[in-house]
Amino acid sequence: MAKFEPKFSITNTIANNLIEIERVKEGIKSLPINPKLLNSLRETAKLSTIHYSTQIEGNRLTKEEVKDLIGSKKVVSNTGRVRDEKEIKGYYVALDYIEKLAKNKSPITEYNIKHIHALVVGGGSTRVKGTEYRDGQNVITDSTTGQIVYMPPEASDVSDLMKELVKWINGVNDIPIPIVASIIHCQFVTIHPYYDGNGRTARLLTTLALQKNEYDLKGIYSLEEYYAKDLQGYYEAINIGKSHNYYIGRVDADITKWVEYFVNGMAIAFKSVYNKAKEQENSKDKIKVLRELDTKQRQILNLFETQKYVTSKDIADFFKFSPRSARQLASDWVNIGFLISIGEGKQRKYQLNEKFEKIL
């Protein structure tokens, strides 16, 4: 069996997205996310990962039903399919397993891959034996037309192909990790080592590769939503090669198109979670600052939303106070640091202290 050497090019699109991924990765590190918020974001990301990854394979449970099922609540599925619930439970325990592998910096081995797959198809059981590779041919067909979409390599070649993939994964050190993850995903589904569960296992291996190399964004993002919301794009990007037959069109295909798709999705997912984390953290900070203010101070913020500076006359008109009372209130607010006084006499005006201006 020939040595595995993926063919791809670093296009401008890939390079720009890699830069964006690194920017967001470093930005997340600097966000002061408190433990409670971090746990909430992690649970949300985990829920999305499980829901969307299984949805890609046809699972019909809603996100709310998935949440209930993971929370050990009884789910009355509209689909009436026990299989849907087993897929969710299987993915949940498999995700837990890869998180432990990533935390321990464990290498990606054939043993781990077989164990991940066994958990994926195990219906939620953690007492599983690693799944052996398929012993026969399988094909991927179009569910609508019945036509063959992809014919994977013969079963006799699967073991050697998987050994080459694992060897490559643990030996590569000159390719950016996001690209490595994209190649793992692509080559795994290309080999298609199992009769079922290949897509879910491939996505879990991708997550493992990213997490163990510190591309986990503290565990608060999900790539699966990107795939699920553009399934046509996902399938078009992964179906590369000039023929549906592995030996004719896929074995030596250039996978640049797939790498572009994957890295672009990763950049989108990273930016989305960064903005969400920053928004929630800012919202929390805003509430904290607002609690420091009394009723009148909160009310005057409405005036500052439309103008940077106010005068004592503006304050008097806003509260319907006498000019004297307004000047005294403004003076008191300056003394406690709520307002900053600018100018003298009739030219005096006031602006918010920067701390309070930030929450507008």
pLDDT by position in tens, the chain (length 360): 678 999 999 999 999 999 999 999 988 877 766 677 677 778 888 999 999 999 998 899 999 999 988 887 666 556 567 889 999 999 999 999 999 999 999 999 999 999 999 999 999 999 999 999 999 999 998 878 888 889 999 999 999 999 999 999 999 989 999 999 999 999 999 999 999 999 999 999 999 999 999 998 878 888 898 888 888 889 889 888 888 899 998 899 999 999 999 999 999 988 887 787 777 666 766 777 888 899 899 899 988 988 999 999 999 999 999 999 999 999 999 999 999 999 988 889 999 998 888 777
Sign of CA dihedral 249, 251, 254, 256: positive
Asked whether the beta carbons of 177 and 169 are under 8 A apart, the reply is: no
Half-sphere CA count of 20, side-chain side, radius 13 A: 17
Residue 305 token pair: 């939303």
Task: Indicate the pTM of the whole model.
Answer: 0.77
Region 12-286: CATH code: 1.10.3290.10
Burial class (CB in 10 A: 0-12, 13-18, 19+), 360: exposed
- Residue whose entry in the numeric block shows the structure tokens 């299984």: 54
CATH class of 292-357: mainly alpha
**Structure tokens of 218?**
């503290």
Cα–Cα distance measured from residue 75 to residue 25, given in angstroms and rounded to the nearest whole number = 37
User: Would you state the structure tokens that stand for residue 173, as one six-digit string?
Assistant: 């050190």
Through-space distance between the first and last CA atoms of the chain, rounded to whole angstroms: 64
Q: Could you give the CA distance from residue 15 to residue 58 in angstroms, rounded to a whole number? A: 33
Sheet holding 339-342, edge to edge: 309-310, 349-352, 339-342
CA pair distance 303, 288, nearest whole angstrom? 20
Distances in Å between the Cα of 15 and the Cα atoms of 141, 202, 214, 321, 337 are: 34, 24, 19, 61, 48
* Domain residue limits, the chain: 12-286, 292-357
